[in-house]
A = this chain, B = another copy of it.
Amino acid sequence: MRDEILAYKRERILEEAVKLFYERGFTGTTLDDIAAELGVTKPFIYTHFRGKVELLAALCKPTIELSLAAVANAATLPGTPTERLRHAITDFTKVVLQRQPNIAIFFREEKNLSPESLAEINALRRQFDHLLSGLLIEGVATGEFEIQDHSLAALALGGMISWAYTWYRAGGRLTLEETAARMADLALRMAGVRVAIPA
């Protein structure tokens, strides 16, 4: 019970920090700003986090883990490489769109993370690229894909999706699901799959 309340408060701090770091940037936001928004004071934050930099890491790492998990999960599913790549891209896109502020903060504020946190996160990103490359290689092996350079293709794919943090707006022209589905179509095309487009 006590722990639940504590965890809840921790979550509230994180929510507010995400919002403000996203809007004003990491260095453009003070701990007093976050505390004020929550109706508490700065020392309160220190009962849940060691400092501002740890707060930043706590925002970034779980989101990168989620991205990796999306691709890792899709990669181990049964099905053809085409089906699995579609699944991977769809789910990864959804993570990016659902956690848009966290993704944005990570890419913008990378330089403000502690070397240790950054190293951990970069290890996750390497796994991510590796999994994506692996999927592409499999598809080439079965003849479903036609790819000149799977490393470059994996980077291009990852970039195309990640980039959505810069332009996606919830409640815009396309829903989250539609965006994810269309991104998957574009991704399959890049992999050399002949994708029919709906009229």
* A115 on interface, CB distance cutoff 8 Å: no
In the complex, residue of chain B having the shortest beta-carbon distance to the beta carbon of A157:
B160
Residues 128-158 of A, flagged 1 when their CB comes within 8 A of B and 0 if not, give 0000000000000000001111011101111
* A108 on interface, CB distance cutoff 8 Å: yes
Residue numbers in B under 8 Å from A153 (CB-CB) = 186
Is there contact, CB below 8 Å, between B108 and A148?
Answer: no
Residue numbers in B under 8 Å from A174 (CB-CB) = 149, 152
Nearest CB in chain B: distance from A100 CB, A: 14
State which of A5-13, A31-39, A65-73, A163-171 sits at the interface with chain B: A163-171
Nearest CB in chain B: distance from A38 CB, A: 22
Given contacts A159-B163, A163-B159, contact A25 B112 (CB under 8 A): yes
Given contacts A111-B24, A111-B25, A189-B190, contact A167 B148 (CB under 8 A): no
Given contacts A28-B111, A108-B107, A197-B148, contact A156 B183 (CB under 8 A): yes
* A27 on interface, CB distance cutoff 8 Å: yes
In the complex, residue of chain B having the shortest beta-carbon distance to the beta carbon of A155:
B167
Question: Could you tell me the distance between the alpha carbons of A185 and B185 in the complex, rounded to whole angstroms?
Answer: 17
Report the 8 A-B pairs with minimum CB-CB distance, sorted nearest first.
Answer: A159-B163, A25-B111, A27-B27, A160-B160, A148-B197, A156-B160, A108-B108, A159-B160
Which A residues contact B (CB, under 8 angstroms)? Answer: 24-25, 27-28, 107-112, 146-149, 151-153, 155-164, 166-167, 173-174, 179, 182-183, 185-186, 189-190, 192, 197-198
A-B CB contact pairs (8 Å), 28 listed = A24-B111, A27-B27, A107-B107, A107-B108, A107-B166, A108-B109, A108-B110, A146-B197, A151-B173, A152-B174, A152-B183, A152-B186, A155-B163, A155-B164, A155-B167, A156-B160, A156-B163, A157-B160, A159-B159, A159-B160, A159-B162, A159-B163, A159-B164, A159-B166, A163-B163, A186-B190, A189-B190, A192-B197
